[in-house]
Structure 1
Amino acid sequence: MASQTDDTDRITVRLAGREHRDWTTYRIDSHLITPADAWQVTLGIPADALPDTVKPWAAVDVCLGQDVVLTGRIDRIEREVAKGTNALAISGRDGAAVMVDCSAPIFTRRKATLTEVVDLAVRPLGVSQVRVEATGAKEKVEIEPGMTAWDALAQACEANGCWAWFEPDGTLVVGGPDYTAAPVATLVMRQSGQGNNVLSLAVTEDVSGRYSEVTVLGQAHGTETTDGQHNIKHQETDADVPGYRPLILVAGDCDGAAEAKRRAQKTLMDSRLEGFTITARVRGHRVSESGKPWTPGQRIQVVSEPHGLDATYFLMARTFLGGRDKGSITELTLKEDGVWLPELAKISGGKGKGKAASAGKVVELS
């Protein structure tokens, strides 16, 4: 809780026209898939130093220097007073929090398009800045009373092959990734140490959730104008999965062969997404080449001799960590490029090499 500073890497919480900083510890999360990005700060304070404006539900901007990295509200305030201790912990989430916590204000069961879900379930909860980038989102979903606003939106997004997330300025975006964007940085780990710019780099390959074959068996209910279908079947395969690992999904309400194909492809690509993860830790919170904050959605080149990697990957999540006398560290979670929501994305022509041979392109499915 100090005066303004020009430090470009200092985490600041702006609240009710005041700026608070010099934290003992802080953690600022951002994840494209997990809703409601979380933030937490802690500090030791004088007995009378807590302003009245610091209270649950207060609107905040969490900033890195002058760059806003999260817009949200305070969820919880914890203050511990003991002999020699007066500690304060403040935590909260971004604009998705109210959508995750609260029911959609819909009181009768109904079918709704993606746009209708945004208008009926999202905007009434105070989410005023919305940008829908997904064109042709016409599939309807069934909204039940009692569903959270986020569940309703997520269901509509999945039906239309897109996703939703909040940008740092508080805008809800409905769309998909841009795999044509140029990589913002190159992370290097060589055995000689020459040119290394990461503190650590871990690669996880997990076959437990991978499938060599996904089959969707479905049926479509008849209507006044069309007959029902009871023999819908579609199968997708992934030749990169070792062994025979089949998965059969039964879809009781499937609109037709195209819907069965979409479900099979999404399940296969989701399993691929979970099967490979790179976790890198770097100093600071900014991309050295541009000076911009690390942000999910960026593409990053990774060159690691110990892991046999030389390819472009997609930044799915990042966490800012640090505090007084602790330095600043960013943890980056990277996934295969072109795998998350490939049906919406235009894939660049570059192809990686190394263990993630398929990075940089969509896996061709039969």
Structure 2
Amino acid sequence: MNNTVFLRINGREWGGWTSVRISAGIDRIARDFNVAITSQWPGSPDGSRQIKNGDKVEVLIGEDLVITGWVEALPLRYDASSITRGIVGRSKTADLIDCSAAPAQQSGKNLFRIASTLAQPFGIDVVDAGASAAAVIDAQPEHGETVVDCLNRLLGQVQALAYDDEQGRLVLGTPGSAKAVTALVLGDNILSCDTERSVRDRFSSYLVTGQRPGTDDDFGEATIAAIRQSTADSGVTRYRPHTLQQSGTATTDSCKSRCEFEARQRAAKTQETTYTVQGWRQGNGKLWKPNQSVVVYDPLNGFDNETLVIAEVTYSQDNSGTITEIRVGPADAYLPEPTKPKAKKKKSSGGIEF
């Protein structure tokens, strides 16, 4: 299979890189790339065709499109023996990370419709890959809030993921929605493993307290922790309690969801592992991709044909060879935190109704 990396910029393909690094993941919204070449501009011996910051770029591995985005940096490094020029960029969805959301009041709409409205000014399409169609609340961006910060609040309400695809679109979906055809197997295709297996952030029990509405005769300390919900993590055997305060006006359900989420995600994060495999493609010639469920056999790490989710892939190529770093973990490790309820506010007329 063709693993040559090309950058398509200004209608022309550039190649000949001495190092390549391309990363994509389900918990990062925008994939990125960093390529470099030594001694001369790629694809042009005299460097007559210049590439500028802000140019639209498509990154391809052979015939496979992997990123559609923008050039963001043009690093230059040299010494007495060599000159190295690079091109760095991110997906189109990077603007959703960096930029403020337009003020908009939206009620009774689902995640897809609200995300589409938020992304529209940036020319970014939104893909519904299985997100909940339930209506969400608290959808108005706060003053100066980025699009991603606003989206994160909405994702927590419906327990969905937001990430980008090869075409620079925003995708709304659930963990492990596609399947890898090749398993990760110790003694076969796994070259190396890197995992901490840390329990530092895990606790034996989680208690979430919330404040109920007060009255003129019932207020202060009596209402602050009036709602209490707890759960335990059987994987932590010594006494390690952890108490969290739910912000805003809480409910029994919101406190229960929060403590159960904390226990599940912290336990799942313990199992996160990064594997390195040779090459960039699976057995059927397809690239390794994020959000694929993959079977992992690694008895040294406690995985006995366990199905995990590929959270991130990084394709790299340099003098050491061509490899893929694949970060995997249980699906619970990547679901967003349930939305914390806010205190009720008076309605204002400052928003724009869509």
TM-score, L = length of structure 2: 0.82
Does 1:235 pair with 2:227?
no
Partner of 1:17: 11
- Hey, what's the Cα distance between the residues in 2 that align with 1:144 and 1:221? 23
C-alpha displacement of 1:75: 0.7
Q: Which runs of 5+ in 2 are unaligned?
A: 216-222, 339-354
> Of 170, 182, 193, which aligns to 1:185?
182
> Of 296, 307, 321, which aligns to 1:312?
307
C-alpha displacement of 1:240: 1.5
> Of 163, 167, 170, which aligns to 1:169?
167
**Alpha carbons 1:78, 1:88 under 8 Å: kept:** yes
1:50 to 1:102, Cα distance in 2 relative to 1, 3 A: farther
> Of 64, 69, 73, which aligns to 2:66?
69
- Hey, what's the Cα distance between the residues in 1 that align with 2:28 and 2:163? 9
Give the alignment of 1:1-366 within 5 angstroms. 8-44=2-38, 45=40, 48-49=46-47, 51-52=49-50, 54-80=51-77, 82-106=79-103, 114-115=111-112, 117-131=114-128, 133-141=130-138, 142-178=140-176, 182-190=179-187, 196-221=188-213, 231-288=226-283, 290-310=284-304, 311-323=306-318, 325-337=319-331, 339-341=333-335
**Alpha carbons 2:4, 2:61 under 8 Å: kept:** yes
Q: AA paired with 1:215?
A: L
**Alpha carbons 2:155, 2:336 under 8 Å: kept:** no
- Hey, what's the Cα distance between the residues in 2 that align with 1:304 and 1:214? 31
- Tell me the alpha carbon deviations over residues 205-225 of structure 1, each in whole angstroms, 9 at most, x when there is no partner: 1111112222221135489xx
Any idea what SS the aligned residue of 2:47 has? Answer: coil
Q: AA paired with 2:251?
A: G
**Alpha carbons 2:160, 2:336 under 8 Å: kept:** no
Partner of 2:218: none
**Alpha carbons 1:215, 1:233 under 8 Å: kept:** yes
Any idea what SS the aligned residue of 2:287 has? Answer: coil
**Alpha carbons 2:258, 2:337 under 8 Å: kept:** no
Q: AA paired with 1:152?
A: C
- Hey, what's the Cα distance between the residues in 2 that align with 1:221 and 1:90? 54
Q: AA paired with 2:261?
A: K
- Tell me the alpha carbon deviations over residues 72-127 of structure 1, each in whole angstroms, 9 at most, x when there is no partner: 11111123455443321110111221111111122x8x576535642443221221
**Alpha carbons 1:117, 1:156 under 8 Å: kept:** no
- Hey, what's the Cα distance between the residues in 1 that align with 2:152 and 2:127? 15
Bigger CA drift: 257-266 or 293-302? 257-266
- Hey, what's the Cα distance between the residues in 1 that align with 2:291 and 2:201? 24
Bigger CA drift: 36-45 or 113-122? 113-122
- Tell me the alpha carbon deviations over residues 140-198 of structure 1, each in whole angstroms, 9 at most, x when there is no partner: 1252110111111112112322121111122211221246x5552222224xxxxx222
C-alpha displacement of 1:269: 2.2
1:254 to 1:160, Cα distance in 2 relative to 1, 3 A: farther
Q: AA paired with 1:249?
A: L
Runs (4 or more) in structure 1 with deviation over 6 Å come to none
- Hey, what's the Cα distance between the residues in 2 that align with 1:165 and 1:120? 16
Q: AA paired with 1:89?
A: G
**Alpha carbons 2:294, 2:307 under 8 Å: kept:** yes
Identity of aligned residues (%): 28
Any idea what SS the aligned residue of 2:248 has? Answer: coil
C-alpha displacement of 1:65: 0.9
1:185 to 1:244, Cα distance in 2 relative to 1, 3 A: farther
**Alpha carbons 1:12, 1:62 under 8 Å: kept:** yes
**Alpha carbons 1:129, 1:170 under 8 Å: kept:** no
Q: AA paired with 2:52?
A: K
- Hey, what's the Cα distance between the residues in 1 that align with 2:296 and 2:316? 22
Q: AA paired with 2:328?
A: L
**Alpha carbons 1:254, 1:260 under 8 Å: kept:** no
- Hey, what's the Cα distance between the residues in 2 that align with 1:254 and 1:122? 30
- Tell me the alpha carbon deviations over residues 246-281 of structure 1, each in whole angstroms, 9 at most, x when there is no partner: 221112324522222222222222212322222211
Q: Which runs of 5+ in 1 are unaligned?
A: 1-6, 191-195, 224-228, 345-366
1:309 to 1:131, Cα distance in 2 relative to 1, 3 A: closer
C-alpha displacement of 1:337: 4.7
Any idea what SS the aligned residue of 1:75 has? Answer: strand
1:139 to 1:262, Cα distance in 2 relative to 1, 3 A: farther
